[in-house]
């Protein structure tokens, strides 16, 4: 698309309605180009002796220089001042205290119990996106570039004169309540509940909360980036379509900002550096390493059309791979509104034990295996821990017998993160007042239906 019109529509530094005139580029993993002023992007050179308009050229690499071309990710940013122009990094005071990027016996717990957390309270005291984040569980290490952390956030105010930079990994953010207006070095993204946004390692960004009280989920992956899953026998189309991923267009501000703070997450700890300008001073950029967003309602689900229950992998929206084929560091699965049509089939998710680890959240509505749902909450079923429909869901499904016609599950949106790596749980997650200590009770009372005379399969 020609985003040069963007320069006329989006005044540099203007406040206005953040979302009103945003323009995006479309595609997954494309090599994009964008300029907020026509002619700002050098043609034919990445690093000319003098860049157009006297801009500085700066590369950001999301993969090693020598990563094979098919997986290599990098972008060139053309900015008013280079990122390096800042005061020395200092450990942030006060420290955050509830973020973790390396999971060990000394800082987190192994616990196979089925766990559920009800929606966390949004704090009364002013709390921005960064301070409202807290790690729930994770595995591996950001230092060793292998692993993940699952966080949640509960916040009520916008980040001010402050940008966040995550040196540890990529964030996949899922707002559950309240919109996120995200300003990045590549431009702006307006993200609503029902959307996700991916903020790759190293990009500076700032989050405004136009709706005030806000809550959501964040997955962070170390040493990998999300890909679209292979489609196999599904064919050339289906699930998440590449063209539905949206990337921002260049936007910049040039006014002096005498006390602008960069907060860098590095090894799970926060460091701050002060500079006298906004990091959102990129007038043009090109490359394939970018933030992006995706509207979950665009997901095209595939499922069983005659009998039996598909494995949940059929709902994979994005996947971060390990080196083993078919084994994910972290899969992101989307459970949208959909039809259930299987005949003679127990339709809720089957009883299950899995070598993989499953963390679920609910954006809105219910979830078919759990009566009542828990929007804003989360549950964790770790490696080989049994789980499945609760007693009430099982009995009500069986009671319907042969009367189950096609049924549309509307008004529901939930997701799952699935990983091969076994999570360790953060102490504050285990001690959280949101912990549902009665969760296991949902399966109590399952009675035996064993009957030697019952030989028909319905």
CB of 283 or CB of 342, closer to Fe ion: 342
CB of 57 or CB of 446, closer to Fe ion: 446
Q: Are 156 and 220 in contact (CB under 8 A)?
A: no
Pairwise CA distance, residues 42 & 58, whole Å: 12
CB of 354 to Fe ion, least distance (A): 5
Q: Is 45 annotated as a binding residue?
A: no
Nearest to 122 by CA among 214, 207, 208, 209: 214
CB of 384 to Fe ion, least distance (A): 11
Pairwise CA distance, residues 204 & 284, whole Å: 15
CB of 256 to Fe ion, least distance (A): 53
CB of 239 or CB of 380, closer to Fe ion: 380
309 binds Fe ion (CB under 5 A): no
Residues 6+ apart with CB under 8 A from 287: 31, 32, 60, 73, 74, 75, 76
Pairwise CA distance, residues 448 & 458, whole Å: 18
Stretch that binds Fe ion, among 14-22, 86-94, 344-352, 428-436 (CB under 5 A): 344-352
DSSP H helix total and E strand total for the chain? 3, 28
Q: Is 358 annotated as a binding residue?
A: yes
Pairwise CA distance, residues 53 & 251, whole Å: 15
CB of 313 or CB of 354, closer to Fe ion: 354
CB of 168 or CB of 358, closer to Fe ion: 358
Cα radius of gyration rounded to whole Å, the chain: 23
Binding mask 148-167 for Fe ion (x = CB under 5 A): --------------------
Q: Is the link from the previous residue into 367 a cis peptide, with omega within 30 of 0? A: no
Told to judge if 309 belongs to the known catalytic residues of this protein, a careful annotator would answer: yes
Binding mask 357-376 for Fe ion (x = CB under 5 A): -x------------------
Annotate 322-385 with DSSP letters as a single string: -SSTT-EEEEEEEE-SEEE--TTS--SPPPB--SSEEEEEEEES-BTTBTT--TT-EEEE-TT-
Residue whose Cβ sits closest to Fe ion: 352
Q: Is 352 annotated as a binding residue?
A: yes
CB of 122 or CB of 137, closer to Fe ion: 137
Annotate 241-289 with DSSP letters as a single string: -GGGEEEE------S--TTEEEEEEETTEEEEEEESS-S--EEEEEES-
Stretch that binds Fe ion, among 82-90, 119-127, 321-329, 351-359 (CB under 5 A): 351-359
Nearest to 285 by CA among 49, 40, 23: 40
CB of 400 to Fe ion, least distance (A): 23
3-state secondary structure (DSSP) of residue 388: coil
CB of 172 to Fe ion, least distance (A): 20
3-state secondary structure (DSSP) of residue 176: strand
Pairwise CA distance, residues 205 & 188, whole Å: 9
Binding mask 7-36 for Fe ion (x = CB under 5 A): ------------------------------
Q: What are phi and psi of 53, to 5 degrees?
A: 60, 15
Stretch that binds Fe ion, among 87-95, 185-193, 320-328, 345-353 (CB under 5 A): 345-353
Q: What are phi and psi of 436, to 5 degrees?
A: -90, 100
Which residue among 352, 409, 422, 430 contacts Fe ion (CB under 5 A)? Answer: 352
Stretch that binds Fe ion, among 135-143, 146-154, 228-236, 356-364 (CB under 5 A): 356-364
Stretch that binds Fe ion, among 23-31, 96-104, 116-124, 355-363 (CB under 5 A): 355-363
Q: Which member of 309, 364, 381, 449 is catalytic?
A: 309
Pairwise CA distance, residues 151 & 168, whole Å: 13
Q: Is 387 annotated as a binding residue?
A: yes
CB of 234 or CB of 384, closer to Fe ion: 384
Residues touching Fe ion, count (CB under 5 A): 3
The residues binding Fe ion (CB under 5 A) are: 352, 354, 358
Residues contributing to the annotated binding site for homogentisate: 367, 387
Q: Which residues are catalytic?
A: 309
The binding site for Fe cation consists of 352, 358, 387
């Amino acid at each position: 698309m020609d985003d040069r019109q963007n320069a006329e529509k989006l005044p540099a530094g203007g406040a206005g309605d953040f979302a009103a005139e945003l323009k995006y580029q479309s595609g997954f993993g494309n090599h994009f180009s964008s300029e907020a002023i026509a002619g700002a992007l050098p043609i034919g050179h990445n690093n000319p002796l003098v860049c157009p308009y006297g801009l500085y050229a700066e590369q950001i690499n999301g993969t090693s220089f020598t990563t094979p071309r098919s997986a290599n990710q990098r972008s060139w940013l053309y900015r008013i001042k280079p990122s390096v122009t800042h005061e020395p990094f200092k450990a942030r005071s006060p420290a955050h205290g509830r973020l973790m990027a390396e999971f060990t016996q000394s800082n987190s717990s192994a616990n196979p119990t089925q766990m559920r957390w009800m929606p966390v309270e949004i704090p009364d005291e002013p709390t921005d996106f960064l301070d409202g984040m807290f790690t729930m569980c994770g595995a591996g290490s950001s230092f060793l570039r292998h692993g993940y952390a699952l966080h949640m956030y509960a916040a009520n105010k916008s980040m001010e004169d402050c940008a966040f930079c995550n040196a540890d990994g990529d964030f996949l953010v899922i707002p559950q309540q309240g919109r996120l207006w995200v300003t990045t070095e590549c431009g702006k993204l307006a993200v609503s509940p029902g959307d996700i946004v991916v903020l790759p390692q190293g990009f500076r960004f700032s989050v405004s909360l136009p709706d005030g009280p806000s809550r959501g989920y964040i997955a962070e992956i170390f040493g990998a980036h999300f890909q679209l899953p292979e489609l196999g026998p599904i064919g050339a189309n289906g699930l998440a379509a590449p063209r539905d991923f949206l990337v921002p267009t260049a936007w910049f501000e040039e006014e002096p900002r005498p006390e602008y703070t960069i907060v860098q997450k590095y090894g799970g700890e926060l460091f701050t550096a002060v500079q006298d300008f906004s990091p959102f001073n990129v007038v043009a950029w090109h490359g394939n390493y970018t933030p992006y967003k995706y509207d979950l309602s665009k997901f095209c689900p595939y499922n069983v059309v005659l009998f039996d229950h598909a494995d949940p992998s059929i709902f994979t929206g994005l996947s971060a791979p390990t080196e083993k084929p078919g084994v994910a560091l972290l899969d992101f699965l989307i459970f949208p509104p959909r039809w259930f049509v299987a005949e003679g089939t127990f339709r809720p998710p089957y009883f299950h034990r899995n070598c993989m680890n499953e963390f679920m959240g609910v954006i809105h509505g219910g979830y078919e295996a759990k009566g009542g749902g828990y929007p804003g909450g989360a549950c964790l079923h770790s490696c080989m821990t049994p789980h499945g429909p609760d007693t009430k869901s099982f009995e009500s499904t069986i009671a319907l017998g042969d009367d189950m016609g096609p049924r549309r599950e509307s008004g529901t949106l939930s997701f799952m993160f699935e990983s091969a790596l076994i999570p360790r749980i953060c102490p504050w997650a285990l001690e959280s007042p949101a912990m549902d200590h009665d969760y296991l009770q949902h399966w109590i009372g399952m009675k035996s239906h064993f009957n030697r005379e019952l030989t028909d399969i319905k």
